[in-house]
Amino acid sequence: MKSPESPLSLFDFRSLLFLPASNQRAIGHARESGADLVILDLEDAVKPADKAAARAAAVEALSEQWPMPVAIRINSRASEWHGDDMVAIMAAKPDVIVVPRTQGKEDIAFVRNQTGKPVAAMIETARGLVHVHEIAREASALIAGTNDLSADLRLPPGAGRAPLQMALQTIVVAGRAAGIAVFDGVFNGLEDEEGFAAEAAESRRLGFDGKSLIHPRQIGPCHAAFAPSAEEIARAQRLVAAAGGGAERFEGGMIERMHVEAAQRLLDRR
């Protein structure tokens, strides 16, 4: 069986570990990884010839006990595998369903209505980005699919994240407006620890709640990047303790209710 039933808050997730459902060894490692959410992938990480086997492996994996919530990323509605994936997830009952290449709200509403499960929408195309606000109103979370989005926008190789800043901020704004969690895309460099740490720190500055990962070794640095520093915690504690309601002075500046709420959110994430 999966992780024990408990209220699921996607805002609590920092690390979203993707792995191919066709890789039994990776599934075993993921169970012990300490990721906040494990996502068994039936889509891009699985070759067409292996789709059926991966689907069966995902269902089998979800019949066992997991120490963390488990999601399945299905194939898109436009693919030939979508129908079989839907049958499988309705039987397996993952904690979350991830929908790739979301183009509009219908992609999310269909899966949610069929399964009754939280659905995370991946924004991976220009069309999905244009419709992200209506998608966010149907979804339980948004995930930036930065690799596919870069390809769809025809960015040149090595362009980096600078051309994606507007897209990333749009995803964050849409998620916040809808009151749902938002997650940044993957960092492709498996050996570049400094690069990962820098990108994860940027993810937090942009307002993301967490980040998609492609290897267990990225989990620790991801959690560190999204954890408040000791200095941030101390200041938040002082601010909450000092707040008396309304606008008031605090350590040389002015604070209001929104500053207190932000400080409390930070303390809740310790």
Task: Enter the tokens of residue 139.
Answer: 């979804």
Pseudo-torsion of CA 76, 81, 86, 87, nearest 10°?
180
State the pLDDT at residue 82: 96
Which residues is 72 bridged to in the sheet? 40, 97
Query: What tens digit of pLDDT does each residue of 106-137 get?
Result: 999 999 999 999 999 999 999 999 999 999 99
Contacts (Cβ under 8 Å, ≥6 apart) of 114: 86, 90
State the pLDDT at residue 248: 86
How far is Cα 94 from Cα 15, in angstroms, rounded to an integer?
17
Task: Give the Cβ contact number of residue 258 at 10 Å.
Answer: 8
Question: What does each C-alpha distance from 35 to 17, 31, 51, 215 come to in angstroms?
Answer: 6, 8, 24, 10
Q: With H, G, I as helix, E, B as strand and everything else as coil, classify residue 109.
A: helix
Task: Give the Cβ contact number of residue 159 at 10 Å.
Answer: 12
Query: What tens digit of pLDDT does each residue of 258-269 get?
Result: 898 888 888 887
Low-confidence ranges of the chain (pLDDT < 50): 1-4
User: What's the residue count for the chain?
Assistant: 270
pTM of the model: 0.89
**Nearest C-alpha neighbor of 42 from the set 51, 34, 33:** 51
**Nearest C-alpha neighbor of 11 from the set 231, 226, 236, 237:** 226
Identify whether the C-beta of residue 93 lies closer than 8 Å to the C-beta of residue 117: yes
State the pLDDT at residue 4: 47
State the pLDDT at residue 7: 63
Query: What tens digit of pLDDT does each residue of 237-263 get?
Result: 988 888 888 888 888 888 888 898 888
